[in-house]
Structure 1
Amino acid sequence: MFRKVNEFRRYMKNRDAMAAALVPDEAVVADAPMPGLAPAMEAAVAGDHAPAADLLASTHRRRAWDDRSHAVDLLARMSLRTPQWLDAWETEAGPDDPAPLVVRSALGLNSAWEHRTRERAENVSQEQFKAFHATLGDTTDTLQRAVDRTDDDPEPWRLGLIHARGLEAPPEVWQGYVSALREIDPWHHGGLRAALELQTAKWFGSHEQAYDVAFGLAAEAPADSRVRTLPLDAVFEHAVADGAEDVARAGRAEEAIALTTGWLAQADPERYHVVAVHRGVLAATLMLLGRFDESFDEFVALGPHATRYPWGYWADDPREGFLRFRSAVSVKAAGRK
């Protein structure tokens, strides 16, 4: 009882200073678009698809694959509510332009997962599963046409791995996708992250398999590669599924945390649309492991940047999930200082 009283006293003493270290709740945004993407999205909604098409062409030309995945994902999510710009782009571009096909494929995947929701399988109705699989089936042809019309874009293969997960494709199918993706970009983070998820206990593998794959890739990857953060994704998935004690027994968390903090130390903070994802996973993992002081420090460093992964695990609105856990971590950390 006295320990709880002392924690409360420490919380009351420290809460104002800790709150001042965080950006206000109203300043937090979910999935802030990378530089140049917000104006393109605004123009698309207003009926002009050219800026979005130009931006995607630039990411392809520069082989800026992280930016390309980010842009495709945000444009696809926007199209769930306002697809007219994409319809117009496809009409103007014609059937042989792979760029709108890639966005259309991502839109199909987003639409499918909206039907399925983020609930566990046992909590998803038969009607939801039927709509989920039907939408994935409808997306198959679009993805195939995107693949057939380009041989130097890894994005259709990244999306193909997400598609394969939904359809529970056998390993020989999605392993072929990984091989095709790595021929274009051997260290494509988004594609390898999608492949890792297929090998987690939540889907078709195990915690041990996910660790082996993630640490194996990280050991081979260049020092500045985002792939070096994959082991922390494996730890996070393990912690969400089975809790801190099981993660501690596995004995892989410290190395994974070190790999991610090492990558973050040399990452360009101006690339917030990339950095916030990994710092968010770090904050969430430290929170799940009960390391609230360290998690709080990562929330301070995150500033206003909430991202769908990982905060969408706990709320339909990732911003809501971010704020909820930031508040809980702040209370815990303030009571321990």
Structure 2
Amino acid sequence: MLRAFLRSAAARARSRSARPAQDDDVLLDAPDDRLAPVLVAAARGEHAPAAGLLAGTREGAEWDHRDRYATRLAAFARSRSEWLDSWRAAAPDDPDARLVTARLTVHRHWGSPARAELLRQVLPAVVAAAEAAGPADPVPWRTALDAARGARAGHTEFERLWEQAVRRSPHHYGSHVAALEYLAAASPDAHGECLDFAETAAQDAPEDALVRALPLHAALTCPTPAAVRAHRPRLDAAADRAITLSAAHPAADPWAAELRNLLVHVLVRLERHRDAAEQLRLTGPYVTSFPWDRDTDDPLGGFLRVRADVRARAAAAVPAAGTAGSGPPRNGHGGRVRPGDH
């Protein structure tokens, strides 16, 4: 983990230069500056930095950060749980330790062939942990929503958990993702309904809220070229909204990497290769397993193949020096550039 942390710092320094990231610069699921030292400490068996990080997100109501950090810590605990075991022994009622433990429980059962049965057994404990977390924190309820989805809970039960999550934070991205994925699983052909849900959530959210990218996530529920064609204007609008959100973050920002990786994935499906090339430039060396792990067991290899193809297409589309285009510049998806296009 220390080597990964140092490589992340070196990659951030290299990303300040103008040259594109090279294959040997690429980092998969690299932690940001707040999480990296916590993971290094956890590798040494120390839980205090993790406790401090999650307590800070809870006290500061940083729900999207809290959700992502809890997920990453639970993933780390799947292979190295000594630090979590000692934390739970020292503070069995700590809400942050309970959160990571609940998330770890759901993760461990998710890949099992008996997932639904196993998650049905643990769902009451996961919900009890959420109920004990207090009146403000939506993140334990997002964990309960994931457990309910995996357990194939009925609509009434899922809606009860959803109500608890959005009562605490109406714009928490993770809770909305869990609900969107429940809708998609319940009705695999309901692409329009998934987009309706995501667009409503995005429209009601503040300009800088991560949930404004939810329609981009909903674009993944359109799995075929026919579905993409049927909803093309809405998918372009989702991509445009996410491009605006991406522009609010600095280049080569690990926090924005998942948004930008998802954006590249969707833009490629929309054949907006110039826009995809710009997002590749902005994401720099940071690759995230999601969304590439939806298509391949080798998400890093999948990303590198897509990146190479996008770069080749973008280079082929650039007019030779000294030549003029045949018309006004365009915005990458069939329309002329408008003020505010990226």
Q: What is the alpha-carbon distance in structure 1 between the residues aligned to residue 215 and residue 295 of structure 2?
A: 21
> Offset of 1:259 from its aligned partner?
1.4
Q: 1:43, 1:49 within 8 Å by CA — same for their partners in 2?
A: yes
Identity of aligned pairs, percent? 33
Report whether the alignment pairs 1:181 with 2:179: no
Does residue 237 of structure 2 align to residue 255 of structure 1? yes
TM-score (norm 1): 0.82
Could you say which residue in structure 1 is the equivalent of 2:80? 82
Gap runs ≥5 in structure 1? 1-19, 116-128
Q: How does 1:263-282 map to 2 (within 5 A)?
A: 263-265=245-247, 267-269=248-250, 272-282=253-263
Aligned to 1:283: 264
CA distances 1:87-119 after superposition (whole Å, capped 9, x unpaired): 11111112x22211211111122222333xxxx
Comparing 291-300 and 39-48, the one that deviates more: 291-300
- Work out whether residues 236 and 281 of structure 1, in 8 Å CA contact, stay in contact via their aligned partners in 2: no
Q: CA deviation at 1:306?
A: 1.1
Any idea what the Cα deviations from partners look like across 1:185-242, whole Å, max 9, x if unmatched? 1110111111112122x5435101101111111121122211211112112331xx11
* 8 A contact 2:251–2:284 mirrored in 1: no
Higher relative contact order (CA 8 A, sep 6+): 1
Matches within 5 A, 1:114-263: 114-115=111-112, 129-130=113-114, 132-137=115-120, 139-151=122-134, 152-200=136-184, 202-204=185-187, 206-238=190-222, 241-243=223-225, 245-250=226-231, 251-263=233-245
Looking at structure 2, the residues matched to 211 and 72 of structure 1 have their Cα atoms a distance apart, in angstroms, of 27
Matched, 1:97 2:84: no
Shift in Å at residue 324 of structure 1? 2.5
8 Å contact kept, 2:118–2:151 = no
In the other structure, the counterpart of 1:35 is 33
Alignment counterpart, residue 301 of structure 2, candidates 320, 326, 331: 320
Give the direction of change, closer, same or farther, for the CA distance of 1:86–1:317 in structure 2 (3 Å limit). Answer: farther
Q: Report the TM-score, using the length of structure 2 for normalisation.
A: 0.81
**8 Å Cα contact 2:71/2:103 also seen in 1:** yes
Task: List 4+ stretches of structure 1 deviating above 4 A.
Answer: none
Aligned partner of 2:4 in structure 1 is: none
1:288-319 Cα shifts (integer Å, max 9, x gaps): 12222221221111101111321221233433
In 2, are the aligned partners of 1:34 and 1:271 still within 8 Å (CA)? no
1:292 partnered with 2:276: no
Normalized per residue, the structure richer in helix is 1
Partner SS for 2:111 = helix
**CA shift at 1:253, angstroms?**
1.6
Name the counterpart of 1:308: 289
Match of 2:63 in 1: 65
Return the offset for 1:335: 3.5
How far apart, in 1, do the equivalents of 2:97 and 2:125 lie?
10
Please give the alpha-carbon distance, in whole angstroms, between the structure 1 residues aligned to 2:221 and 2:145. 18
Instruction: State the partner residue of 2:331.
Output: none
- Equivalents in 2 of 1:27, 1:219: separation in Å? 37
Residue of structure 2 in register with 1:4 after alignment = none
Alpha-carbon distance in 2 for matches of 1:165, 1:268: 32
Partners of 1:315 and 1:105 in 2: CA distance: 28
Deviation at 1:51, TM superposition (A): 0.7
Q: 1:263 corresponds to which letter in structure 2?
A: L
Aligned to 1:330: 311
